[in-house]
Chain A
Amino acid sequence: MIPMSYYLILSSILFSIALAGIFLNRKNIIIMLMSLELMFLSINFNFIIFGNYLNDLVGQIFVFFILTVVAAESAIGLAIIVVLFRNKNSINVEDIGRLKG
């Protein structure tokens, strides 16, 4: 039987790795999106753990919906990156402001 606090500490370390990743790779928008995926993963961990803790399946239902929304979000984000690269020939975050429609 694994203590619940182990899982919670694991998810909090994962979350802070992702936060540091967004902070460090601020020029590279693809790594930023990947760090965002890591953040969502740690949040999903928390939902499943607390769902087990509270003896409620709604935590897992919520994870299901988060996975759906994140899939749509990453598809749109990658499409925006493709458009950005096609127009500006770079994936620098600072160029997004100059995309203009």
Chain B
Amino acid sequence: MNIELIIFLIFSALVLASAIGVVVVNNPVKSAINLVFTFFSSAVLWMLLNAEFLSIILILVYVGAVMVLFLFVVMMLDINITQAREGFVKYMPFGILLFFIISGLLSVFFYSQFENTDENIVLSIDLIGTDNTKNLGYLLYTEYIIAFEIAAVILLLGIISAITLTHTKNQDTKYQIPSEQVSATKKDRLTIMKDSGETK
């Protein structure tokens, strides 16, 4: 047994165990932590597949940003766990059946199709060098530049929609209404009173 296979077996077992943990643990904070662990272990497996840049991105963006967002939301909400777990035990046999059917079918299919292709797998893909990040950047900034810019627009869309959904206007805040200020006329602000000229 070579060292690569041992690392693969250990970390794939960790991925599967923590993925099961995400699904079955009854505290949402614990399942978010399990999800973080799943991402860490699969980053190691991506490193084995020679996708170094993506595995670092998975840790930086996913564990660093998205999972922190998840944890933040889970901790901010006061969740009624017993109500949220309603029907879990009742549907458990169907869930296990579904899991075995889908995973069995997919595994049999993949095993029969790609059984003898282990020597076909490429260790590193070289375009302009052996550096994975350099190759990815080369493709991203030449051939896929429009898709890259659309991805930036999608992120902007995510920011704007998340802010507009959650932002609430504070009633006590004093603010200007420019349209009312501009459309004000002399008549709204100034009243001329007639002085009768008499003195008391």
Which A residues fall within an 8 A CB radius of B? Answer: 1-10, 12-21, 23-28, 30-31, 33-35, 37-38, 41, 44-45, 48-49, 51-53, 55-58, 60-61, 63-65, 67-76, 78-83, 85, 90-92
Contacts and interface: CB of A to CB of B under 8 A. Distances in A.
16 contacts: A2-B5, A4-B121, A8-B114, A12-B103, A13-B103, A31-B28, A41-B39, A48-B46, A52-B50, A65-B151, A71-B65, A71-B155, A74-B70, A76-B162, A81-B73, A82-B77
A96 to B, nearest CB: 13
A15 B106 contact: yes
B102 interface: yes
A4 B117 contact: yes
B54 A16 contact: no
Interface of B: 2, 4-5, 8, 12, 15-16, 19-20, 22-24, 28, 31-32, 35, 38-39, 42, 45-46, 48-51, 53-54, 57-58, 61-62, 65-66, 69-70, 73-74, 76-77, 79-80, 83-88, 91-92, 94-96, 98-100, 102-103, 106-107, 110-111, 114-115, 117-123, 125, 127, 132, 135-136, 139-140, 144, 147, 151, 154-155, 157-159, 161-162, 165-166
